Every structure is written in structure tokens, then in C-alpha cells.
């Protein structure tokens, strides 16, 4: 196994020195507070964007908050492609603020509109609540594309970790005609099989940002009924067919219990005729993209994702990330 990157080792050492508890040692509300408290320590401030505004729509469980970003340098009246972004956090943690930095950066790098979804969290709202909320958001964005100044033929879905899981599920639902069409899916170290602990659960280095115990904690809160983990809407790798799914970018990390299932999903997509771009960061750990202050590679990876999306969306690069970086 490839040794962890020095940035990853430094992060682990700092957490050990600070006496940080793993999420699984805390009740969900405590874990959410700890997750939010760590954010300014590990994330750079978000880039400036051309527009940022909050929207609330009617969701299946009540009001559903969204946050819309338009990339810096884009024209106010331009009809932009859109990435619907679904945050990570094991279906238990995270919100619009936790992934603000990723959304701003991707809006700028891809010169697109990004819409983030504040879906309901477990254990208060278990599977399939998150799926239902994300599906409602995709429906709304597609139906209101003209008002939102979005091109409905260029809508992608993406997310990290649990958000990658939800993006994969929406992609299959769209393929099956249950949701509006999706052009592309961006799956960043996704969870795609909640029912099986793969080989990478055994090989993951102890003390990483996410460990097998952490994943069990998240899955037990989100899908406590083992039968629900066999449902492809919680475990998209269980789908009988991935053929006809939208093209995909799949990113995995070497020191991550989700490594092997993410790589298996990419292989299946390709084997079943879906165009796939893969990126494997063998020396890095789960969650690296929300660790921009401590993992130096995160900026380059987000730039790569942005360039990839520009290619998918067929848009020119304006070389703008935010006025603070000009």
C-alpha cells in the first residue's frame, strides 16, 4: 500500500495532538457541532463568485433550502450549464456552509452555475429521505431552468462521499425516466455499496479522517435496516444494470474505506458502455477536497474537476477563480 502523503500524516498528527474524537464516539448532534467547529481550521475561505443566493423550495419533508452560485466572470444574463452539488458527511453531517468552498471553486473553475442542496439528515430522517429531497431539487431546477438562467440540457449532478452516493442514485433515476435528464455525474470518493465491507475496509490506515468504524456509524444511522442496504437507491452498485447512465467522473483515494467500491463502480460503468474518467489519489485520504488549508493537492484536484466539467459543458475557460486570487 502506498504511504500516506506528508500532508495527510501532518493532519492526523495534529488531530491526535488536539485530542479530536472520531465522529463515531459522539452522538450525531455533537458530531455535527464538531464538524462545523473544525471547518475554519481545515478550509480556506470560499472564493468570491458572481452571484450567491439562497432559495427555499417545497420539498417532500417540508421547506428544502438550496444555494445557487454563478461563477465569477460569467455574464449576469448568460444561460449557464449547472452542476447540482450534494454535500458529503455520511448522510449525518454537513450542510450548505460545510461545502461552500467547494461549490464556489467549482462554479468559478467550470464557469457554470452550481446549486447545492441541503437535504434532510439521518438519523432524524433515514433512507430514503435524502434521495427524495435531492430528486425534488433536480425536478425543481429542471422545471425552473429559464427563471434560474440555466440550460436544462446541460445539468450535471455531483457530490462527495454520501453526496457522491446520492448523485449516482439520481443519475440512475434520470436514466430510467423517473427524473429529468442528466448530462453527467461527478462522483468524488463515493459510497456506492452500503451492504458490503470491501477489501479497502481492511487495508485502511488507522487514524485516517474516515475509518471503517466511522462508515459503520454513518450507515447505521442512515440505513439501520440491513434490507434497505440492498436497495440500489442506497447502494447503486447493487443496480442490475448501469448501462445508459450519464457519463461519469469517479475520484477515489487510496487511504479510504470506500476506495474499492468506488473503483468497482467506475469499472462497471465502463464495462457497461458508459464513458468514464477516473482519478485515483493513492497517497490521499477521504474528504481531502474539504481540507483545502491542510491538503495542498485539493486545489489542483478541484481545478481538474472544473476543467473536466468545462469540457463536458463545452464552455470556454475565463481563467477566473475569484477576485481574491486574481
Q: What is the pTM (predicted TM-score) of this model?
A: 0.96
Nearest to 304 by CA among 280, 323, 285: 280
> Does 170 fall in a domain?
yes
Instruction: List the catalytic residue out of 98, 142, 161, 292.
Output: 161
Catalytic residue among 256, 284, 292, 298: 256
Q: Which of 200, 284, 286, 298 is catalytic?
A: 286
Distance CA 34, CA 17 (A): 16
> Which pLDDT score, from 0 to 100, does residue 199 have?
84
With DSSP H G I counted as helix, E B as strand and the rest as coil, what are the percentages for the chain, rounded to 5?
Answer: 40, 20, 40
Number of domains in the chain: 1
Residue 325 CB: number of other CB atoms within 10 A? 12
Whether 256 is catalytic: yes
1 in a structural domain: no
Range of the domain at 285: 6-324
* Cell numbers 477566473: residue: 320
CATH number for the domain spanning 229: value is 3.40.50.1820
pLDDT attached to residue 324: 40
286 is an active site residue: yes
Q: What is the pLDDT along the chain (326 residues), one digit of tens a residue?
A: 799 999 999 999 998 888 889 999 999 999 999 999 999 999 999 999 999 999 999 999 999 999 999 999 999 999 999 999 999 999 999 999 999 999 999 999 999 999 999 999 999 999 999 999 999 999 999 999 999 999 999 999 999 999 999 999 999 999 999 999 999 999 999 999 999 888 888 876 667 889 999 999 999 999 999 999 999 999 999 999 999 999 999 999 999 999 999 999 999 999 999 999 999 999 999 999 999 999 999 999 999 999 999 999 998 765 544 444 33
Domain contains 226: yes
Active site residue 99: no
1, three cell numbers? 500500500
Amino acid at each position: 500500500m502506498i504511504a500516506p502523503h506528508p500532508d495527510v500524516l501532518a493532519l492526523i498528527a495534529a488531530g491526535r495532538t488536539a485530542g479530536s474524537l472520531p465522529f463515531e464516539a459522539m452522538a450525531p448532534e455533537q458530531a455535527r457541532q464538531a464538524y462545523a467547529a473544525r471547518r475554519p481550521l481545515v478550509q480556506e475561505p470560499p472564493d468570491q463568485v458572481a452571484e450567491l443566493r439562497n432559495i427555499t423550495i417545497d420539498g417532500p419533508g417540508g421547506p428544502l433550502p438550496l444555494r445557487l452560485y454563478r461563477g465569477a466572470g460569467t455574464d449576469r444574463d448568460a444561460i449557464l450549464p449547472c452542476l447540482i452539488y450534494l454535500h458529503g458527511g455520511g448522510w449525518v453531517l454537513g450542510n450548505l456552509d460545510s461545502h461552500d468552498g467547494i461549490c464556489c471553486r467549482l462554479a468559478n473553475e467550470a464557469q457554470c452555475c452550481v446549486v447545492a442542496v441541503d437535504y434532510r439528515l439521518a438519523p432524524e430522517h433515514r433512507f430514503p429521505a435524502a434521495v427524495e429531497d435531492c430528486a425534488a431539487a433536480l425536478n425543481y431546477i429542471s422545471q425552473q431552468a429559464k427563471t434560474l438562467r440555466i440550460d436544462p440540457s446541460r445539468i450535471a449532478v455531483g457530490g462527495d462521499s454520501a453526496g457522491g452516493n446520492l448523485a449516482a442514485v439520481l443519475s440512475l433515476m434520470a436514466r430510467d425516466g423517473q427524473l429529468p435528464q442528466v448530462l453527467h455525474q461527478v462522483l468524488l470518493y463515493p459510497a456506492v455499496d452500503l451492504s458490503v465491507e470491501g477489501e479497502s475496509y481492511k487495508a485502511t490506515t488507522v487514524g485516517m479522517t474516515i475509518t471503517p468504524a466511522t462508515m459503520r456509524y454513518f450507515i447505521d444511522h442512515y440505513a439501520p435496516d440491513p434490507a434497505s442496504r440492498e436497495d440500489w437507491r442506497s447502494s447503486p452498485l447493487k443496480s442490475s444494470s448501469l448501462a445508459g447512465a450519464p457519463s461519469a467522473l469517479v475520484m477515489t483515494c487510496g487511504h479510504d474505506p470506500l476506495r474499492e467500491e468506488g473503483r468497482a463502480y467506475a469499472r462497471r460503468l465502463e464495462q457497461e458502455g458508459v464513458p468514464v474518467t477516473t482519478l485515483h489519489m493513492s497517497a490521499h485520504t477521504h474528504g481531502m477536497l474539504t481540507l483545502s488549508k491542510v491538503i495542498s493537492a485539493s486545489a489542483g484536484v478541484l481545478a481538474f474537476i472544473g476543467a473536466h466539467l468545462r469540457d463536458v459543458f463545452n464552455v470556454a475557460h475565463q481563467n477566473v477563480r475569484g477576485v481574491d486570487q486574481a
